[in-house]
Structure 1
Amino acid sequence: MTFLLYLGKVMLCSGILLGYYWLFLRNKRFHHYNRFYLQGTLLLSVLLPLIRIPVLNQPQSPVNQAVYQTLAVLTVKDGEEELMGEGPGWAARLFTLENGLYLLYVIGVLVLLFAFIRSLLYIRRISKQYSFERIGGLKFFTTGEPGTPFSFLRSIFWNNELVFNSRDGQQIFRHELFHVQQKHSTDIIFTELITAFFWFNPFFYILKKELKAIHEFLADQYAISGNDRYAYAELLVLQTLKANNLPITNQFFQNHIKRRIAMITNNQSARYSYRSRLMALPVLALVFCAIAFRAQRSAEEDGKPVIAQKPITIIVDAGHGGIDPGAASLDGKVKEKDLALQICQKIQQLASAYNVNVVMTRSDENLPGGTTVIHDGLKARTALAQKINPDLFISIHVSSTGEQTVTSQTGFELFVSNKDDERAKQSKQLGSVVLQELSKVYAINETIKQRKQNVWVLEQTPCPAVLIECGFINNEKDLAYFSNSGNQETVAKKILEGIVNYKNKPVAMVNPSVIDHTPDRNERVEKTVKPAITTTAPVSSNSNSLPVAAPPPQQLFNDSTLNKLIKHFNRNTWYPKQALAQNAEGVVYFSVMVNRNGELNNFKTYEQAPAEANSQVTKLVIVSYARETGNAATEQLSNEELTKEYQSVMKKAAERKPDLSGCTPQLSPYYFQVSFRLEKKSATANKPVEAVVPASAGISDRQMLLPNGFLWKKQGKC
């Protein structure tokens, strides 16, 4: 689509420049200036979109801020799981929308080039058919052809019915002679070729027509020098011939008669003319900056691959092979082993452009190492990795639900080892970056996954390793997308870009919460959960209520977005008046998401801790002083009504806009548990409250664990 984008920029550039000409230069008497302006417009429109001048420093890639907080561990079939297929036939790959557009473009070019060549052949034919005389450096042909007189290059084709030595004949001859001297035919050949290759651009047809009009204005001006301009105008009117004209010649009797007569008889202010011409400079500068200058945000945006700073050696493993076909499409025609190999081969073909060296575990349909046993094939894969010790190991598969029915599950899935060591952490970082790149071209599962029973190639490789499931083979949309050769190339590029970004730029990581799914993928059990540390530190805009944040210390100092959210809810939450009036306490659960614009959305409340929170819930405590006696005059609320009051308070706090500038959008929601708690007043009510924090948290037992860093008093503001 890069070429189609270029054609669109050509149209935009020509449209802007033609618009300026139409408003300020058209039908003005500075014809030489207009001629070169129109020529320049054609040339700039074609060349300017090819110029790329970076004017901004490359900003920090979002990959530098990659954060994954939720790591789902899924139990799937034991052993290696891969996907691949045979792919569609040549007809399905050929008849695509993009190829159809290219075909239409080529047909248009060929039609116009044929018309152009036919005109040239006509001129060549009549130049051989009729005799000529040499007048100076030109050839003068006397013909009986319709459409004459006209000129082309250094030849004038005269009509034998027009008396050469008459007054009218001499003026017409001077007119055509000027075309020859000024080489107007080269302008026309240039515009015809440009129009042929950009036939879809309507602005070029208008430019071509205007350039021919300028040629006639200039030739008319030369022909009437020293003669009666009104007599010449009369000649144009009386002797206009109704004949077909060749598009590549300069005919005396053309259209533009009304405009030519106006140019001959009218005068214009020179002051206004100079002003109109000078206005072209800022317009040209604006177009040049808009088309040529660009912020260099990424190498991909400039049409060039992101290159690794140092050479990278990776092993690319096409899953399954040989007697192990892997999953298959519902009709059995597409097999996982074949489809995975096709994607891997695309990675291998493109890798050199990214400064990446690819070693394939298999390059044909057989199992790696020429083995005939599936288990030996798995060993051959990891033995190769241990032998060459690559930087990374990438295994390509295609997923399946294992059922002979169409599934609605779709998109990329990415698996890493379930071990808890440094190599596994690096694999998670690699997976996060690769998923971010793949999300730009197709749907992804936003959580990195693990299997309860570890995958051999992920466990036994000596380097960071990921397994990428490229869609679901029993999903028709996924099968069509990943079977397409062009889409396979796009996927390969994104995987390579993720690899290069991972090696070039460090990735921030937050300690993840892990959820383990049982083999039926329904029952959830906790695997690793960091207990939240609750602090009591009141702060509120209401003197009667004391909201307190209780973030886990590791998250507080590693996740700036969560840190800012805690600040926000600290400052915007109060104890509901009606709950306070009847000395009621309660707990409410809610979740929010942060979008790409740094705004909170998707606020949801829950009656109990949501299972999808994966036990990663940030705890907040809203503390107020209990009244000595409840307010009997106040209408007593039920537990359900009180819960709605608590939820309403948190919703209003979420609707207020926090400052989340510079934060990375979270792929999954933030979950909060808010406890509304009452305390009795004491003699120390006005003293600062200090947090009680375990020494393991790395914080002094006298230090306040508040995200805003201030020491708060119980009944005051900061």
Structure 2
Amino acid sequence: MTFLLYLGKVMLCSGILLGYYWLFLRNRRFHHYNRFYLQATLLLSVVLPFVRIPVLNTPHSRMSHAVYQTLEVLTVNYGEEETGKAGPGALERLLTLENALYLFYIIGIVILLGLLIRSLLYIKRISKQYPFERIGGLKFFSTREPGTPFSFFRSIFWNNDLAFNSRDGQQIFRHELFHVEQKHSTDIILTEIVTAFFWFNPFFNLLKKELKAIHEFLADQYAISDNDRYAYAELLVLQTLKANHISITNYFFQNHIKRRIAMITNNQRTRYSYRSRLMALPVFALVFCSIALYAQRSANSVTKIFRPGYAEKPITVVIDAGHGGIDPGAASLDGKVKEKDLALDICKKIQQLAASYNVNVVMTRTDDNLPGGTTVIHDGLRARTEITEKAKADLFIAIHVSSTDPKNPDPTRSGIEVYIPNKESDRTNQSKQLGSVLVQELSTLYATDPTLKQRPQNIWVLEQTPCPALLIECGFITNDKDLAFISNSGNQEAVAKKILEGIVNFKNKPAAAANAITTGQPVVKTTPVEKPKPATVTAAPAVQVIPASMELPVAQTQPAEPTASLIESAIAIAQIPDPVIAKISRHFNRNTRYPQKLMESNAEAVVYFSVSVDKNGDFSNLQFYNEAPAKASPLSKLTVVGYGPAPTGQLSAEESQNLFREEVKRVFERKADLSNSVPQAEQYFFRAAWVLEKDIPKTV
């Protein structure tokens, strides 16, 4: 959590809670409750942003099975140059807007803490200057100081001009005695310290004033009785002193005179007071959920989405935020935005989203420093390659932002560019394949150069890393359109998602598709249809079952030896998928479960079925088959993987098959959302495989 994010959460939390107080609790007569509420608002606002409570969540992959082809590679003389160039001087690095804001913030804290210390020293000085006598457990000082009488912790500072034994004197004494007994000074010191550190937060300043008013309301109630409340109000008006008061004491002639008199003279009970107080609980719960809870994947429950060739092992990718520290990289035309900051923002977005894509991200830097804590640019480049070697990474991706000459910017240079290594090798060929995947992914989001780039002068991190490597220039920082796009946090997250989608699709492509990538020809995997296998009873780990299935089907054909026409048909289906099949598969994925009875029996099966869809998107005519029917073309595959407890019983193959079919019926009794999808066929055929994992899956 960054410091600015923390301060923003503090302000949000205090604003919501104080807003509820202002609307429903302020100027009500339940002062003890209001005191507690304001204290809780202060503490929760400061502490709650530090609390992070994980909520188990199983993200569903949005990857689609796609086919890619290698793009043209173009050699250029421009682009990223990783050479040792002089960075800004020490004075220039210090004189930044960010540092100026931090300095202004610290000055505010120092001033307010100084005023607090001065008030404490004043109380200490007058406590030594005037004599006191002990009354019970408190000290009673007789003074002639302006602003008295007032109380501070276990001390009451009295004004000798006020007769102690008079009716007015006794009421004022009871007032100050209540402050002492209720430890109101503790509230004030705490709010003064918190307000000093959060002086920019207007809600804390309002809270401090309201808490002092509540103290006075409580003390006034204690000091008077029903018979003399109007006389007490008259005392407040006639003897209000005009002297300056210090802010950390509880003095009798406090401000809020109008509100205090209203509270004293108003003897009516407010209706619905209990309702107003109880409604604060949902407000606290709302703030708590908004600030403290965050989604985290379950350690024991995982939804898997299987597709041909998809790897279950996490992909380790080194994500390198270009430049950093003394090396700012390129800058916007006005000099306010630096490449190193934009690159780091995008990389952090990739790191935050990576777990949902089963990608293990290793960052070369996470703050404004060169990798490895170095202070020399060349050492930072070496540290990047050392980090990659140590992590045994599968891929290396460097994130940069390009630029043109700031003195003579070229407005025609725009869009995202992808660079690959220069030397010809197997690693470079794999980098070409990865680059082709990412270019096609990114081009759906923003203008992207359709050719891969190479530089005659080697780019260090691309040539020295031991794995397939890319450098992505996420637009031109000297182009206003590109700068506006890549500076937006939402767009940065969208770019991060596209990069992660490309990584997963590249790493988990089928072997046949890998061969197609080098030739530029699309390939679709065609396999013979499997016969349904009977239920088996095998050992399974005691892990809670979580269903999983494909979101997008893979076209299949029935013959074991596919002909050329079948392959062409499969290619056409893969290139133009039926949206109804995709939505039915997604509906199946979201609603299916592995029946508990079958889990306990370790039963597995394959269920062939078909379903009809009319023009209104309604299901009908659900049919089951013992094997794939001859007319099933295409046959869409669905896979449900479960992790279950140790076996406790055994079912026959027929019983298992019937229970699995009942589960399919249950799923299709729920209406799916097939809106905006025109059926391309009357009947759709599916093969659903129910598989029990024998090993507990590892989560990311």
Instruction: Point out where structure 2 has 5 or more consecutive residues left out of the alignment.
Output: 299-311, 324-328, 334-338, 355-359, 366-370, 525-565, 584-615, 618-629, 637-677, 684-700
Check whether the contact 2:71–2:436 (CA below 8 A) recurs between aligned residues. no
Q: CA deviation at 1:49?
A: 2.6
Q: CA 1:100–1:552 in structure 2 vs 1: closer, same or farther (change >3 Å)?
A: farther
Provide the residue aligned with 1:183 in structure 2: 183
Q: CA deviation at 1:461?
A: 7.5
Q: Superposed, which structure 2 residues align to 1:185-584 within 5 Å?
A: 185-225=185-225, 228-269=228-269, 272-296=272-296, 356=362, 391-393=394-396, 405-408=408-411, 409-410=413-414, 413-416=417-420, 424-425=429-430, 428-429=433-434, 445=448, 447=450, 449-451=452-454, 463-469=467-473, 475=478, 502=503, 528=520, 553=569, 556-558=572-574, 563-564=578-579
Q: Structure 2: how far apart are the matches of 1:396 and 1:203? A: 40
Provide the residue aligned with 1:59 in structure 2: 59
Amino acid at match of 1:140: F
Q: CA 1:44–1:529 in structure 2 vs 1: closer, same or farther (change >3 Å)?
A: same
Q: CA deviation at 1:495?
A: 9.2
Q: CA 1:288–1:159 in structure 2 vs 1: closer, same or farther (change >3 Å)?
A: same
Q: Normalising by structure 1, what TM-score?
A: 0.55
Amino acid at match of 1:181: E
Q: Structure 2: how far apart are the matches of 1:239 and 1:529? A: 95
Check whether the contact 2:442–2:448 (CA below 8 A) recurs between aligned residues. no
Instruction: Point out where structure 1 has 5 or more consecutive residues left out of the alignment.
Output: 299-307, 320-326, 332-338, 371-380, 517-526, 533-549, 569-657, 660-699, 713-718
Q: CA 1:60–1:106 in structure 2 vs 1: closer, same or farther (change >3 Å)?
A: farther
Provide the residue aligned with 2:648 in structure 1: none
Q: CA deviation at 1:230?
A: 2.1
Q: Structure 1: how far apart are the matches of 2:297 and 2:443? A: 18
Amino acid at match of 2:681: F
Q: CA deviation at 1:24?
A: 2.2
Q: Structure 2: how far apart are the matches of 1:24 and 1:112? A: 31
Provide the residue aligned with 1:88 in structure 2: 88
Q: Structure 1: how far apart are the matches of 2:319 and 2:206? A: 56
Q: Structure 2: how far apart are the matches of 1:433 and 1:11? A: 40
After superposition, the C-alpha distances for 1:511-556 in whole angstroms (9 at most, x for unaligned) are: 799999xxxxxxxxxx946799xxxxxxxxxxxxxxxxx9975654
Q: Secondary structure at the match of 1:45?
A: helix
Amino acid at match of 1:463: C
Q: Structure 2: how far apart are the matches of 1:499 and 1:241? A: 69
Q: CA 1:404–1:279 in structure 2 vs 1: closer, same or farther (change >3 Å)?
A: closer
Q: Secondary structure at the match of 1:75?
A: strand
Q: CA 1:553–1:154 in structure 2 vs 1: closer, same or farther (change >3 Å)?
A: farther
Q: Structure 2: how far apart are the matches of 1:49 and 1:382? A: 36
Q: CA 1:90–1:265 in structure 2 vs 1: closer, same or farther (change >3 Å)?
A: same
Q: Superposed, which structure 2 residues align to 1:164-179 within 5 Å?
A: 164-179=164-179
Q: CA 1:368–1:173 in structure 2 vs 1: closer, same or farther (change >3 Å)?
A: closer
Check whether the contact 2:441–2:502 (CA below 8 A) recurs between aligned residues. no
Q: Structure 2: how far apart are the matches of 1:38 and 1:501? A: 50
Amino acid at match of 1:414: V
Amino acid at match of 2:19: G
Q: Superposed, which structure 2 residues align to 1:130-145 within 5 Å?
A: 130-145=130-145
Amino acid at match of 1:76: T
Check whether the contact 2:415–2:474 (CA below 8 A) recurs between aligned residues. yes
Q: Superposed, which structure 2 residues align to 1:141-156 within 5 Å?
A: 141-156=141-156
The question of 1:73 aligning with 2:49 is answered no
Check whether the contact 1:153–1:186 (CA below 8 A) recurs between aligned residues. yes
Q: Normalising by structure 2, what TM-score?
A: 0.56
Q: Secondary structure at the match of 2:448?
A: coil
Q: Secondary structure at the match of 2:248?
A: coil
Q: CA deviation at 1:73?
A: 2.0
Q: CA 1:104–1:21 in structure 2 vs 1: closer, same or farther (change >3 Å)?
A: same
Q: CA deviation at 1:194?
A: 1.7
The count of corresponding residues between Structure 1 and Structure 2 is 506
Q: Superposed, which structure 2 residues align to 1:622-633 within 5 Å?
A: none
Q: CA 1:211–1:365 in structure 2 vs 1: closer, same or farther (change >3 Å)?
A: closer
Q: CA 1:504–1:425 in structure 2 vs 1: closer, same or farther (change >3 Å)?
A: closer
Range with bigger deviation, 407-416 or 359-368: 359-368
Amino acid at match of 1:449: L
Q: Structure 2: how far apart are the matches of 1:224 and 1:382? A: 78
Provide the residue aligned with 2:681 in structure 1: 710
Larger Rg: 1
Q: CA 1:449–1:245 in structure 2 vs 1: closer, same or farther (change >3 Å)?
A: same
Q: Structure 2: how far apart are the matches of 1:27 and 1:169? A: 27
Check whether the contact 1:143–1:157 (CA below 8 A) recurs between aligned residues. yes
Q: CA 1:506–1:151 in structure 2 vs 1: closer, same or farther (change >3 Å)?
A: farther
Q: CA deviation at 1:218?
A: 1.1
Q: CA 1:551–1:566 in structure 2 vs 1: closer, same or farther (change >3 Å)?
A: farther
Q: CA 1:47–1:432 in structure 2 vs 1: closer, same or farther (change >3 Å)?
A: farther
Q: CA deviation at 1:283?
A: 2.3
Check whether the contact 2:318–2:361 (CA below 8 A) recurs between aligned residues. no
Q: CA 1:556–1:459 in structure 2 vs 1: closer, same or farther (change >3 Å)?
A: farther
Q: CA 1:468–1:242 in structure 2 vs 1: closer, same or farther (change >3 Å)?
A: same
Q: CA 1:495–1:99 in structure 2 vs 1: closer, same or farther (change >3 Å)?
A: farther
